[in-house]
Structure 1
Amino acid sequence: MNSDDTPVLSLDTLAALQSFLAEKQELDDRFEKLKENAEEVFKNNRKIDMSDFQEDWQLSQFWYDDATAEFIARRALEHTNKDDRIAFISSPTAYVAFRNMAPERTNAYVFEYDQRFDLFKDQFVLYDFNKPLDFARAAEMKGKFKFIVADPPFLNEHCLSQTMETVRWLMSDDAKIMIDTGAVMETLAKDLIGARITGFHPAHRGGLSNEFRCYSTFEDKSLQWL
Structure 2
Amino acid sequence: MTSALIEDDVPRLSGHAMEALAEFYREQEERKAVEIAADTDFVFHEDWQLSQFWYDEDTIDKLSTVAVKAAGPNSKIALVSCPSLFRKTEAKAGDNVKVTLFEYDTRFAAYGSSFVFYDYNSPQNIPQENKHDYDLVVADPPFLSEECLTKTAVAIKFLTKGKIILCTGTKMAELAQKLLDVRDKSFKPKHKSNLCNDFSCFSNLDIDQLL
| Shorter-normalised TM range | 0.7 to 0.9
Q: TM-score by structure 2 length? A: 0.79
Which residue number in structure 1 is paired with residue 86 of structure 2?
Answer: 95
Which residue number in structure 1 is paired with residue 5 of structure 2?
Answer: none
- The verdict on how the C-alpha distance between 1:201 and 1:223 changes in structure 2, with shifts beyond 3 A counting, is farther
Which residue number in structure 1 is paired with residue 57 of structure 2?
Answer: 66
Which residue number in structure 2 is paired with residue 161 of structure 1?
Answer: 150
Which residue number in structure 2 is paired with residue 222 of structure 1?
Answer: 209
Give the counterpart letter for 1:73 in structure 2. S
Which residue number in structure 1 is paired with residue 66 of structure 2?
Answer: 75
Matches within 5 A, 1:63-212: 63-105=54-96, 107-135=98-126, 138-172=127-161, 175-212=162-199
Q: Which has the higher contact order (CA 8 A, sep 6+)?
A: 2
Which residue number in structure 2 is paired with residue 36 of structure 1?
Answer: 35
Whole-Å separation in 1 of the counterparts to 2:138 and 2:41: 19
Map Cα deviations across residues 135-165 of structure 1 (whole Å, 9 max, x no partner).
Answer: 3xx2111111110100000000000000000
Map Cα deviations across residues 164-204 of structure 1 (whole Å, 9 max, x no partner).
Answer: 000111111xx211111001100000000000001111000
- The verdict on how the C-alpha distance between 1:107 and 1:119 changes in structure 2, with shifts beyond 3 A counting, is same
User: How many residues are treated as equivalent by the alignment?
Assistant: 181
Structure 1 or 2: more helix by fraction? 2
Is the contact made by 2:55 and 2:191 (CA closer than 8 Å) also made in structure 1? yes
Q: Any idea what SS the aligned residue of 1:108 has?
A: strand
Which residue number in structure 1 is paired with residue 45 of structure 2?
Answer: 54
Which residue number in structure 1 is paired with residue 9 of structure 2?
Answer: none
Structure 1 unpaired stretches of 5+: 1-31, 42-46
Q: TM-score by structure 1 length? A: 0.74
Structure 2 unpaired stretches of 5+: 1-31
Q: Percent of counterpart pairs with the same letter?
A: 36
Q: How big is the shift at 1:55?
A: 0.6
Is the contact made by 2:185 and 2:207 (CA closer than 8 Å) also made in structure 1? no
RMSD of aligned Cα (Å): 2.1
Whole-Å separation in 2 of the counterparts to 1:74 and 1:48: 20
